[in-house]
């Protein structure tokens, strides 16, 4: 009897020790990826515009921009003179959009997207504005295939991600004109612009992601759509609404507090009430960037 009691006590002690050991297993601690984005995002291009310039200016990735000095003003309306600077960002690929980072959402609505272009103008360090009723034009590089029935969307920072919105009703300036291989955008605002349309689709659902670790809000999760050009950035491991049955590539990346990078990349089909556990595996920074190439 005493032997049985000793064995039972020993067994309980072993279970308790095993439980304590399990509790002491260190969880991954995830850090902000802001430094990663800042290092790898596309650099903003700068062009010095003088009186001898002609329209259009063709940027690095073949965006054609026609913006004249006569359309611009300083915030205090005082005169400015040549030369002045044009600053341009061109995001054509999903990889470049992710590295900014950007997404293709209008509030909570998913969009079919094209190229995301940002145009800014400066005189020295003073950012210029468009004059009232003035406009400029942007023609993105060739798009194949062309998406039908696109509209102009302007991007604004709200509060940390750019949100895409149609111009206000009755806007007399903003317009989009199809060309044989792309579109020409007539724009009444400087900053971000894009030709896009709402994706639609029913029924809709959301995806809840789970992950083991601390500070999981720092895991960067993107959904890349396969049947059309679309990009959703997930916040706090909970997606916005998206159509059931859509095929997407799940791309979840993070940086550990140790400096190591981890990735979960998988093709999935969206199902109603979907939950997905992230299995993050270590890889090099170079391999992480390469994994974005085929998105």
Domain membership of residue 272 (yes or no) is: yes
| pLDDT tens readout for residues 190-230 | 999 999 999 999 999 999 999 999 999 999 999 999 999 99
Is 95 in the same domain as 227?
no
- Which pLDDT does position 211 carry in this prediction? 97
Domain membership of residue 57 (yes or no) is: yes
Structural domain for 48, as ranges: 41-198
Other CB atoms within a 10 A radius of the CB of residue 12 amount to 10
Q: Which two tokens stand for residue 198?
A: 């709402």
Q: Is the pLDDT of residue 20 over 50?
A: no
Is 53 in the same domain as 139?
yes
Q: Which residues contact 197 (CB under 8 A, 6 or more apart)?
A: 111, 112, 147, 149, 150, 151
Q: Is the pLDDT of residue 9 over 60?
A: no
Last-in-domain residue among 168, 198, 228: 198
Is 284 in the same domain as 169?
no
Query: 71-91: string of b/e by CB count within 10 Å (b at 16+)?
Result: bbbeeeeeeeeeebbbebbbb
Is 194 in the same domain as 135?
yes
Is 93 in the same domain as 152?
yes
Is 186 in the same domain as 52?
yes
Q: Is the pLDDT of residue 27 over 90?
A: no
- Which pLDDT does position 23 carry in this prediction? 45
Q: Is the pLDDT of residue 16 over 90?
A: no
Domain membership of residue 244 (yes or no) is: yes
- Which pLDDT does position 26 carry in this prediction? 67
Confidence category of residue 4, pLDDT binned at 50, 70, 90: very low
| pLDDT tens readout for residues 259-289 | 999 999 999 999 999 999 999 999 999 999 9
> What mean pLDDT comes out for the span 36-56?
94
Q: Is the pLDDT of residue 18 over 80?
A: no
Query: 172-183: string of b/e by CB count within 10 Å (b at 16+)?
Result: ebbbbeeeeebb
Is 176 in the same domain as 47?
yes
| pLDDT tens readout for residues 162-173 | 999 999 877 999
| pLDDT tens readout for residues 89-107 | 999 999 999 999 999 999 9
> What mean pLDDT comes out for the span 37-43?
97
- Which pLDDT does position 91 carry in this prediction? 98
Rg of the Cα trace of the chain?
25
> What mean pLDDT comes out for the span 187-191?
97
- Which pLDDT does position 145 carry in this prediction? 81
* 143: CATH: 2.60.220
Confidence category of residue 157, pLDDT binned at 50, 70, 90: confident
- Give whole-number Cα distances, 176 to 135, 152, 157, 218, in Å: 13, 6, 23, 38
pTM here is 0.90
Is 119 in the same domain as 218?
no
Last-in-domain residue among 151, 167, 198: 198
Domain membership of residue 66 (yes or no) is: yes
Domain membership of residue 7 (yes or no) is: no
- Judge whether 226 and 207 are in contact, CB under 8 Å: no
| Ramachandran assignment for 176, one of left (phi > 0), alpha (psi -120 to 50 degrees), beta (any other) | beta
Q: Which two tokens stand for residue 187?
A: 């724009």
Q: Is the pLDDT of residue 11 over 70?
A: no
Last-in-domain residue among 174, 198, 222: 198
Separation between Cα atoms, residue 274 and residue 251, nearest integer Å: 16
Separation between Cα atoms, residue 174 and residue 193, nearest integer Å: 11
């Amino acid at each position: 009897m005493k032997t049985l009691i000793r064995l039972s006590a020993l067994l309980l002690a072993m279970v308790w020790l095993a439980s304590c050991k399990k509790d002491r297993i260190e969880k991954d601690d995830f850090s902000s990826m802001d430094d990663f984005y800042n290092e790898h995002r596309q650099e903003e291009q700068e062009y010095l515009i003088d009186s001898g310039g002609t329209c259009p200016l063709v940027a690095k990735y073949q965006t054609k921009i026609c913006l004249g000095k006569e359309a611009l003003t300083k915030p205090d309306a005082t005169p400015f003179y040549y030369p002045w600077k044009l600053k341009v960002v061109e995001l054509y690929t999903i990889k470049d959009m992710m590295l900014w980072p950007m997404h293709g959402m209008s509030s909570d609505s998913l969009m079919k997207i094209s190229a995301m272009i940002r145009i800014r103008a400066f005189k020295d360090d003073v950012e210029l504005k468009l004059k009232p009723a003035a406009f400029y034009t942007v023609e993105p590089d060739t798009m194949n295939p062309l998406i039908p029935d696109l509209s102009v969307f302007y991007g604004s920072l709200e509060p940390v991600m750019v949100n895409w919105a149609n111009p206000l009703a009755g806007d007399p300036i903003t317009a989009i004109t199809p060309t044989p291989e792309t579109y020409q955008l007539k724009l009444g605002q400087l900053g971000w612009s894009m030709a896009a349309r709402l994706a639609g689709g029913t029924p809709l659902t959301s995806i809840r992601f789970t992950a083991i670790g601390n500070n999981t809000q720092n895991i960067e999760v993107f959904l890349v759509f396969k049947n059309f050009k679309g990009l959703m950035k997930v916040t706090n491991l909970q997606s916005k609404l998206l159509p059931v049955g859509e095929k997407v590539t799940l791309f979840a990346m993070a940086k550990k507090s140790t400096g190591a990078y981890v990735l979960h990349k998988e093709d999935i089909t969206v199902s109603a009430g979907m939950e997905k556990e992230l299995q993050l595996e270590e890889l090099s920074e170079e391999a992480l960037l390469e994994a974005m190439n085929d998105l």
